[in-house]
Amino acid sequence: MSKVVRALALCILVSSPLAAQVGHDPADSPYRPILVRTSLSAVANYIWGSSGKLGVGPSDGPGAMLRYEMRLTGPTDVFASVGWSNLERLVANPDAPEDERISGPVTQGVLFTEAGILILLTGDKTWNRIAPYVGANMGLAFGEGSPQDSSDYSFSAKFVSGPLIGVRIYSRGALSLRVEGRLQFWKLSYPTSYFLPGEADEPLLNPVVNSDSEWTSHPTLMIGLGYAFRL
C-alpha cells in the first residue's frame, strides 16, 4: 500500500507544474469579454452590382448610414440602420428613336432603412480585440424621383435583403472599427411601356422571353466607426 501511496504522490507532484501550463493565465488570455451592450456607428459604404437587362436599376455609388446595435444574449447582436446612397442608372425612353432609347447615366438617390441580426463567431468575447461575425439584413429602399425618365418606370419601396460577413475591432476605449461585406438583393419592376413597340417598332423588352420583374444582386462594402455606451 505504501508503494501505491508513494506512486500517487509522485504523479501529483509531476502533474502539478504541467497542469499549471494548460490554457492561459486570465491576465494574458487573448480572449476578453464584450462588456458594452449598445453602440452607435457612422458607416460609409459603396454599392456595386447589376442594373438589370436595360441598366435602369440603380447601382454603383457611395453612401453613408447611421447604425444602432444592441446585444441580445450570448453571441447574438441586432441592429437597425438608416442611410442614403447616391447611385447611378440609365434612362429608357420607349418612344424615342432606336439610337436614343437608352441614355445616361443619371444620379439616383436611394434612402435605405433596415434591420438585421449578427452572430459573433467568438461568442460573447473578442480575440485580440477582434470580433468576427456573420449575419443577415432586411429592409426597404426608397428611390427619389427621376424627372429625366419619361416612362412609367420608378424605383420605390423595394424590399432589400441578403447575407453579410464582417469583423469589428475594439479599441481599449469606447471606439471600434467595423469592416463589413454584404451581398444585397432587390427586385426591379418594369412598366408596360417597356413591352410595347415604340417609334422604333420594337419593344425595349421582348414580352415573350422577358419578365416584367427581375432580381438584381449588389456586393456592398461598409466601413464604420462606432462608439459604445451604456444605457
Residue 38 lies in a domain: yes
Query: Locate cell 418606370: which residue?
Result: 153
pLDDT of residue 230: 73
pLDDT of residue 14: 40
Sequence-distant (≥ 6) Cβ neighbours of residue 155 within 8 angstroms: 57, 58, 89, 108, 110, 141, 143, 146, 188
Residue 9 lies in a domain: no
pLDDT of residue 10: 42
pLDDT of residue 85: 97
Give the whole-angstrom CA distance, residue 50 versus residue 5: 76
Residue 164 lies in a domain: yes
Q: For each successive 10 residues of the chain (231 residues), what is the average pLDDT?
A: 43 40 60 85 98 95 98 92 96 86 92 97 90 97 78 88 97 93 97 84 90 97 93 63
Residue 55 lies in a domain: yes
For residues 155 and 143, is the Cβ–Cβ distance under 8 A?
Answer: yes
What is the extent of the structural domain holding 41? 32-229
Give the whole-angstrom CA distance, residue 146 versus residue 150: 9
Residue 135 lies in a domain: yes
pLDDT of residue 153: 87
Residue 197 lies in a domain: yes
- Give the helix/strand (H/E) hosting 119: strand 102-120
Residue 51 lies in a domain: yes
Structurally, the chain folds into a number of domains equal to 1
For residues 206 and 178, is the Cβ–Cβ distance under 8 A?
Answer: no
Whichever domain contains 160, its CATH number is 2.40.160.20
Residue 2 lies in a domain: no
Give the whole-angstrom CA distance, residue 160 versus residue 188: 11
Give the whole-angstrom CA distance, residue 40 versus residue 149: 38
